[in-house]
Structure 1
């Protein structure tokens, strides 16, 4: 295995693009190539790739895919410069849990994305 890129089903891709741009992600690809009626988009920041897709775009092909808003999914994203990143976005997003040092040595914080998913950002800071 070489990588994992989640494909997350969302209700409004345009609003999702706006939210993830706040976090510094950029659109790498989309279907169609121009909006506003996107059915799929790939967003990238550094080596992190996230894909977002409408339920309707796969509903007939894969009827097993179903969900309500949010869900039991937490995306754990490692990065460098967590304190500066937190300061940059904390007033622009819903912070669920502020910066804290965990028992396993990581510095983390958690936010809620516009689709109800939890994103936890982490850095293994030097003591």
Structure 2
């Protein structure tokens, strides 16, 4: 058995606001949106993230993910310059001893998004 991909589904109370955040700030494209299901698929390169309203029966007040999404990217400094005044910062750009230059932000829902580039 081989795993082929990982496609997270993150809950949001405001699907349109989330689509706007990811398309305008992070250059994702909304590939598919289903109004009836309150669901959308966003993509940037080979990265795909699904967003939906919480499934009935699951209590959801705010982001409940107890980790982060880590994006390996090129030109991390360029993205930092584009975002640093437009988003809520989790931690500023820094070069770490493990050989990564990275920073982290919060998306509109409160999920932590980390961006790193190998140096």
Q: TM-score, length-normalised on structure 2?
A: 0.89
- Measured against aligned partners, the alpha-carbon deviations of 1:30-61 in whole angstroms (never above 9, x if no partner) come to 103xxxx7700000111111100001xx31xx
CA distance in 1 between counterparts of 2:99 and 2:31 reads: 33
Gaps of 5+ in 1: none
Aligned length: 115
SS of corresponding position for 2:81: helix
Which residue in the other structure is 1:6 paired with? 8
* Separation in structure 1 between the aligned mates of residue 52 and residue 67 of structure 2, nearest angstrom: 16
How many Å apart are 1:74 and its aligned residue? 0.9
Structural mapping, 1:107-126, within 5 Å: 107-125=101-119
Q: In the alignment, what sits opposite 2:39? A: 40
* Correspondence for 1:80: 74
Query: What is the CA-CA distance between 1:18 and the residue it aligns to?
Result: 1.1
Measure, in 2, the Cα distance between the counterparts of 1:120 and 1:51: 17
CA RMSD across the alignment: 1.5
- Does the CA contact (< 8 Å) of 1:14 and 1:38 recur in 2? no
Q: Aligned partners of 2:37, 2:72: CA distance in 1, in Å?
A: 28
For the 8 Å contact 1:13–1:38, the answer to whether it is kept is no
Residue deviations 1:64-104 (CA, integer Å, cap 9, x gap):
x4333123231111111111111111111111211111121
CA contact under 8 A between 1:110 and 1:118: conserved in structure 2? yes
Where does 1:7-26 land on structure 2 (aligned, <5 Å)? 7-21=9-23, 22-26=25-29
CA distance in 1, matches of 2:5, 2:59: 24
